[in-house]
Amino acid sequence: MKLIRLALPVYVELLTAVVAVGLIDLLWVSSLGSPAVAAVTIATSTEYLALGAVLALQTGTTVLVGRRDGREPIAPVVRTAWLLWAAVSAAVTIPGVLLREPLARLFTDDAVTAGLTADFYLISLAGIPVFFAQSLTDGIFKGRGDTTTPMRAALLCNVLVIALDPLFIYGLGLGVRGAAAATVLARTITLAVALSLLLRRTPRDRTARANRADAVAIVRTGLPMSGDFLARSLVGMALVEVVGGFGVAALAGYGIGTKIMLAGVMAFYALRQAAMIQMARSGETGPALRYGLAAGLVVAVALNAVAVPAAGLFTGDPAVAAAAVGFLRWMTLYLVPFGGLISLGGVLQASGRGTRLLAATLAGFVQLPLAYALGPALGPTGVWLAMAVGASLPLAVVARPGRPTGTAVVTTTAAASRSR
């Protein structure tokens, strides 16, 4: 049950921090017209991809802080992580701001939409260091076993965005730029609160120095998680192209279905983070695989139950609604193994076997040739079956007999941490 207690706040945090902010911005700009809606959709989706750049830093820091908290000083790791934050932020922000206009044109041929997207980028990409800093702060809290504070920070940020969006978009007449400015300001205020709490709760050591060994350890530990995230994003983008070949209704239904499914999928990622935190801190984890498979089944049943009314909230077109409902029905075959795979990933990450998780993710790329092969014969159903194979095969790779996936997993790394 400890795993569940850690996972529940993470689930709320992921829903609010990853999903809700973009939806709130989208809601408030909806009355500005379709180009504004398209611009915010493009810009917030791109920002979600940028999360992959900081994920290595965040997860690597969480694992190292978890291994050392209560056993060794964590100040050197934290100082090193902040230096890496500065480097990663500069690497993303500077070229992003300078190249915002060609970046916007990569996603749309419409001049008005591209211009609005570039306007949003100017502010949102300039605010990336704040976004990354909050991610790192949350990672430090989680490494110390605290998943509640990041959840509260995410909720605070959402409340601020809800309040600031109409003021900046309509009150100040900034339109799309106002949505970006409101989000960056809300994140800045939230970061200030979170950092003040972190400074009060984290032991200070003014003599601690950043070092290369910790930097290498953070990157090496976190890089597989970042690679896993980016690989899945690339597969998702490729599947959009495949589904688009079946017509507008199929593509629209797929888009609606994935948005509905995302709320459930976040439960898997919450379990992964909880397993990673517990594994790093104690060398043991709860039954992550069983919990993940069970969560996959629960999410699949829930999505089947709400498929028709949920799809109706997003569209009045019967063809699009039917495509979305069909997608959600077939996803039962995908969600169960995917839940187990993602949850087990936290154990692999914290035990120093993240490269095995990445290898399994790459094995999941088999779904792309399968989708191209089955699609012409079975239509969209062939793509959904390919997705199920793309989740089941990696799970078989990481959970094959002889590998520890159960209640007590003590790794060489964790044991070494205790002996120091």
Write the pLDDT tens digit of every residue in 307-332: 999 888 777 788 888 988 999 999 99
CA dist 319 → 49, 248, 326 (Å)? 30, 10, 11
189-231, pLDDT tens digit by residue?
999 999 999 998 877 777 777 788 899 989 888 887 787 777 7
pLDDT at 22: 67
pLDDT at 168 over 90: yes
37-55 average pLDDT score: 77
Q: At what angle do helices 21-29 and 34-68 cross, to 10 degrees?
A: 170
State the average pLDDT over residues 384-402: 83
pLDDT value at 50 more than 60: yes
Distance separating alpha carbons of residues 138 and 85, to the nearest angstrom: 13
Q: What proportion of the chain, given as a percentage, has pLDDT over 70?
A: 91
Could you tell me which residues come within 8 angstroms of residue 394 by beta carbon, excluding any fewer than 6 positions away?
341, 360, 361, 363, 364
Looking at residue 20, its pLDDT comes to 64
pTM of this structure: 0.80
Model pLDDT, residue 297: 95
Average pLDDT, the chain: 83
Residue 2 has pLDDT above 60, yes or no: yes
Which residues, 6+ apart, have CB-to-CB distance to 56 below 8 Å?
Answer: 218, 219, 222, 223, 225, 226
Interacting residues of 166 by C-beta distance below 8 A, sequence separation 6+: 28
> Which amino acid type is present at position 195?
L
* 411 or 238, greater pLDDT: 238
pLDDT of residue 413: 41
Contact 103, 28 (CB under 8 A): no
Question: What is the predicted pLDDT for the residue at 296?
Answer: 94
| Residue 122 confidence (pLDDT) above 70 | yes
Res 401 pLDDT > 70: no
The predicted structure's pLDDT at residue 337: 93
Give dist(CA 304, CA 325) in Å, integer: 8
Give the mean pLDDT of 54-64: 89
- Of 31 and 418, the one with more pLDDT: 31
CA quadruple 319, 325, 331, 332: dihedral, nearest 10: -150
The span from the CA of 175 to the CA of 407, in Å, is 52
Residue 399: per-residue pLDDT = 73
